[in-house]
């Protein structure tokens, strides 16, 4: 998968062709920077200058340094997605279309664009909640109360076994062993 190239001193140098597969801190930093700005890992790995998806996953498993950078980049990505949610929600561009047809002259609501914007917002909300659940996840709080909203009442029941019953039970247990 390499190509031989003549060096200036006449020696042949092997130049690699194709995607990088050996771990490189520079490439790892670029991947993380692109993730933090909201780009998906799939999109990054489609770039011919970047390693393939399986290579990145292998780097995450094998390289502690990259694993930490990647985790931080994913947390930053959640914040970027939250910012994008506000931008998408505030952007009314293309919400209305001008119609010049025979039966529909004037401005008309562009429902398809609005639905697409809603989908984009919902997808980002879901991903942000998964990446940073403490900040963007839904808060679920559960309260336990007793009757009529009062405090919980606990009850303990103690059974006292008579000595004769205890011996009978003990002998039954020994007989079954």
- Classified as helix, coil or strand, 12 is strand
Over the stretch 131-151, which tens digit does the pLDDT of each residue have?
999 999 888 777 788 888 888
Residue 20, both tokens: 């990088």
Q: What is the DSSP letter of 94?
A: T
Q: Phi, psi at residue 116, to the nearest 5°? A: -65, -40
pTM over 0.75: no
* Separation CA 86–CA 112 (nearest Å): 19
Over the stretch 4-57, which tens digit does the pLDDT of each residue have?
445 555 566 555 556 878 999 999 999 999 999 999 999 999 999 999 999 999
Half-sphere exposure of 92 toward its Cβ, with a 13 Å CA cutoff? 2
- Classified as helix, coil or strand, 40 is coil
* Separation CA 111–CA 100 (nearest Å): 17
Over the stretch 79-96, which tens digit does the pLDDT of each residue have?
999 999 999 888 888 877
Residue 134, both tokens: 């403490």
Look at residues 74, 175, 45 and name the one whose alpha carbon lies nearest to residue 132.
Answer: 74
Q: Phi, psi at residue 14, to the nearest 5°? A: -85, 120
Confidence band of 166 (pLDDT split at 50, 70, 90): confident
Contacts for 63-68 with beta carbons within 8 Å, 24 or more apart? 63/23, 63/28, 65/25, 65/28, 66/23, 66/25, 66/28
């Amino acid at each position: 998968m390499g190509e031989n190239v003549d060096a200036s001193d006449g020696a042949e140098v092997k130049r690699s062709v194709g995607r990088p597969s050996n771990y490189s801190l520079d490439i790892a930093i670029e991947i993380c920077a692109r993730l933090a700005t909201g780009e998906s890992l799939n999109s990054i790995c489609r770039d011919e200058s970047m390693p393939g998806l399986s290579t990145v996953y292998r780097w995450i498993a094998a390289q502690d340094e990259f694993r930490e950078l990647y985790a931080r980049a994913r947390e930053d990505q959640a914040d970027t997605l939250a910012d994008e949610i506000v931008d998408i929600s505030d952007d009314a561009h293309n919400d209305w279309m001008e119609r010049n047809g025979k039966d529909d002259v004037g401005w008309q609501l562009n429902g398809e664009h609005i639905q697409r914007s809603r989908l984009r917002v919902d997808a980002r909300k879901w991903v942000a909640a998964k990446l940073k659940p403490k900040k963007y996840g839904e808060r679920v709080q559960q309260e336990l109360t007793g009757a009529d909203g009062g405090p919980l009442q606990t009850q303990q029941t103690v059974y006292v076994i008579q000595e004769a019953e205890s011996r009978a039970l003990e002998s039954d247990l020994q007989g079954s062993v």
